[in-house]
A = this chain, B = another copy of it.
Amino acid sequence: MKNYKSMTREELAAEKDALTLRYEEYKAMSLALDMTRGKPSSEQLDLSNHMYDDLASTNFRNSLGQDVRNYGIPAGIVDARELFAQILETDKDNIAMGNSSSLNQMFDTMMRAMVFGEVDSDKPWSAIEGRKWLCPAPGYDRHFRVTQTLGFELIAVPMTDDGPDMDMVEELVKDEKVMGIWCVPCYSNPDGIVYSEETCERLAGMKTGAKDFRIYWDNAYVVHHLTENDSLRGHVPDMLSLCDKAGNPNRVYEFASSSKITFAGAGLSCFAANHESMKHARKILDVQTICTNKVNQLAHVRFLPDLKAVDAHMRKHAAILRPKFEMVASVLKDELCDSELWHWTDPKGGYFVSFYAMPGTATDIVRMCKEAGVALTPAGASFPYGIDPNDTNIRLSPSFPPVADIEKATRILCVCAKITAINKLLGV
């Protein structure tokens, strides 16, 4: 493929004609391909199908002999807390188990702050007029929706290869109305960026205007490596320790789940906090509910007793996911070798490929793809308020569809990317 920028108008027009022909051919196929959401495929879910088999043979007792069927044990069974302590490299006493959704844990944690305030707050967050929240972008749309719904002004912070732009973050957090920041530190959604140690240390140590500033550390992909090369695996330090060492012990809530380890809709979730914040949370959690689903906790720890078992299990996921990510990469490379106009990520883990189109074309590309039967995440979805200032980013989610669909969908994406780019260059 020739570099579009070096082509004449006539060459571009001819190229567009050829591409339009291809586009019409795809359209005629009446396809219905979906690359919108980071859902595990059936094949991945099948890996955990037998998690509940013979559960009755355990007599529903955990390692301490407690009956998991009955009321009680509000923080979750020790076995599950120990498992997630290993995953998050912290102590089990810092872990509170939730039900299946870590997003639910994040929402509830923020609702508690809204109504009761944090342990170091002067007042409930709902009483803070003009409260703000930092949103490293592109990021996870559902995170942004939580803070938007709860009345925070969302402040976008650009991502660098090392995580959020820390110079900007350190400047912004001087504002005492800035109450916190969303972080997906390992394999960020959608860029697959792993925060550098320096970024983590600066987040832990920075001086904030709000004394009750909080980092929501969503370690959603902590064990979700794609690479076969273990030395390329992403890793971030335990943020609870870092914050403690930096003299800001209450600063971080960590979140994790097994949604993309076992079942997306029926896994385990947890949050982690230091002693003070956990004590503060438990006072409210113990009013909210008697306990979370401990039978599911037992089923999980029987199936995945420790981090070693989780790692072995995640390698099976990776083996299913890798050909899908490789297909995306290979088609993108094949179609769009002109790297001046487009670029994309090569994630070592997580669930997404982040595609950067020629600025000002992402919305058109997504629209054209839709008309050809390819559903993509709406352009801008990864940005606060759904607005990508450069209209360039498209999040690709290759986990769910079969490889053949991914190939087709990615080819169509490329055709649309090229047509819109030519339109832009031709000024039409």
A residues near B, CB below 8 A? 37, 39-40, 42, 45, 48-50, 52-56, 60, 67-73, 99-101, 103-104, 107-108, 111, 114-115, 124, 126, 142, 145-146, 149-150, 259, 263-266, 284, 287-296, 299
Contact = CB atoms under 8 A, between A and B. Distances in A.
A104 B45 contact: no
Contacts of A142: 287, 290
Contact of A99 (B49, B73, B100, B103): B100
Given A114-B115, A149-B287, A296 B67 contact: no
A146 B70 CA distance: 21
A107 B289 contact: yes
Given A39-B70, A99-B100, A265 B289 contact: no
Nearest to A77: B265
Give how many copies assemble into the complex: 2
Which one of A70, A99, A284, A296 has the highest number of Cβ atoms from chain B below 10 Å of its Cβ?
A70
Given A48-B69, A146-B288, 17 more contacts: A39-B70, A45-B60, A45-B70, A52-B56, A52-B295, A69-B266, A71-B264, A99-B100, A101-B289, A101-B291, A101-B292, A104-B288, A107-B287, A108-B288, A111-B111, A145-B287, A265-B290
Given A115-B114, A287-B145, A71 B37 contact: yes
Contacts of A67: 42, 45
Which one of A101, A145, A290, A294 has the highest number of Cβ atoms from chain B below 10 Å of its Cβ?
A290
B150 A115 contact: yes
B45 A49 contact: no
A150 B126 CA distance: 14
A52 B73 CA distance: 22
Contacts of A71: 37, 39, 259, 264-265
A252 B111 CA distance: 23
Contacts of A150: 115
8 contacts: A42-B67, A52-B295, A53-B53, A72-B265, A104-B289, A111-B111, A149-B284, A296-B296
Contacts of A55: 52-53
A111 B110 CA distance: 11
A39 to B, nearest CB: 5
A298 to B, nearest CB: 9
A291 B142 CA distance: 13
